[in-house]
A and B are shown apart, each in its own frame.
Chain A
Amino acid sequence: MDIELHFDEGRWLKVEKDWSAWWAGETDRSMVMLQTLDTLVNADPSEFSIDFLQHKPSAEVIQYYGARLETVEFYGDAFPKWLPYTGPGIVSGFLGGPVKPSIEHRTVWFQVEKPVPYDELHLNYDPDNIWWRRILELTGTAADTWGDKVALGYTDMGGPVDNLASFRTTDRLLYDLYDYPDEVTRCTGDLTQAWLRYHDEISRIVMRTGRGTLCWTPLLSPGRMYMLQCDFSAMISPKMFEKFVLHDLTVMCDHLDYTFYHLDGPDAIRHLDILLSIKSLRGIQWIPGSGNPGPSQWLPLLKKIREGGKLCQVYVNAKGALAIARELGCSGFAFYILPEEPYTDTELNEYFDLLANPGDFLNAILSESKGKRG
């Protein structure tokens, strides 16, 4: 089945070249991603549904998402992409954890009701798990159907410590760091190895497109990439981060080709020095968090990330991207242009105006790149 995208081979060659240069630090300009919202074709309120993704034939799922992709316009360094999504951190599900969709809140809960005892926790790669088989099937069907027209991404796998919280509950895991430190280390080690195995298997499929890889943040990478995370770490000290997170994170960075770290909210900033010390970690994504000022209000933090030798990606509105570019330079930044909270009428209207006429903004940010280094 063919797919008719607003994106031709010439544009593919350019984005692949430009993204590769960005990863290698061989360009002074920032990467800028801007795309129109996909139109829901035959909009179905149950679209975000585990049943939809589990029981519908994969060909129908891919056809549905293909039709949506065909409505999208891609600007700047944006490109056609897709990944199967069954919630944030599905590796828990791959290993037998609960998978509970909430259509009302458009998310999936993974946590058990009661902590699983450590003597029952053996978190090893399971090739027969139904969620794992489904992700393989959907990703494979997408690769077979769309060929090299769409870049495919890794499903949202979460991180080992967050995955462990799914089996122990977040509350209990906070106590476990003191009550059962050796068990925590054992389980996160096993989870890391399982996680990497799942990632390797998905890599074999997504790389068939020949378009590189991406994940839920679309940083197109010429090799195996991922946005690593430990949301749990917002609740612990740097000393605990060093004890329970750093080793496995480094193993993951060393194993993959292109890694970023999802730095989520002000409480995660305390771990930045440790993150900057990981040589094989390529970049940091900064997410200010709901209720906090947008990325352009965090210039010292962004500067520290760049001066620490890491690439930096943010979700930011057009004004914010220009502000960052003017103050810190463009080199090493990737701006995904979206409206910022609060979603006032002004904010949303400016975003829709930008989508209707992106040329001035794209030229403005390109001109910031000329002759400047970040």
Chain B
Amino acid sequence: MSILSIENLYANVGENEILRGINLKIEPGEVHAVMGPNGSGKSTLSYVLAGRDGYSVTRGKVAFKDKDLLELEADERANEGVFLAFQYPVEVPGVTGMTFMREAYNSRLRYEGKQEADAMEFLKLVRSKAKDLNMSDDMLKRPVNVGFSGGEKKRNEILQMAVLEPQLAVLDETDSGLDIDALKLVADGINALRTKERSMLIITHYQRLLDYIEPDHVHVLADGKIQRSGGKELALELEANGYAEFAGKG
């Protein structure tokens, strides 16, 4: 069974049709990169998968394993195992990282009908995950993302992903706003989370993230549609030639 199966997906943001017939299948353990120019619908795709309000699907199907993903609320999708790493992680004043992540973690346990973790258990878990990723857990004492640097915000997303252990991670422009050192740290974190079961969908404008995270498949998204698919060499081709070839198609 595929982890994610998107068939002929059309979606609007407000009145505007942004996605126009996307087809994509992701198998367990696969890493897919969706690349495309600005305005091609990359972020819309990630929000549609995560279930954000205001993004309405007009046609098509999305299955997550054997579930109809589009029937589920955003929180249910997360609890089923879909994780969106945000392009712009949101600052949440007053809620500490620890509270936020424990609520998230316990929501998942409740959803699965399991016993919630108490504060001590959870603290131990987070510390060990942070250690695996070579990160300090200090940021968890601060309100979520408030005053964080771009790099800290992205690493915080990766730590959340490590704790929540999703089956499918959608990484939306994870490289944006990062200098090369921060990019490398974040990429290391993502690579550490690659497993045979966990699939990833990497959404990116530039090829450079793919220097550090090697994809199995690369797709070019333009005008709301996948225009071309190939192996990792397609990313290099795009880097050399740009997206001009795909402009105006669709």
- A and B: partners? no
Binding site for B on A (CB under 8 A): none
Binding site for A on B (CB under 8 A): none
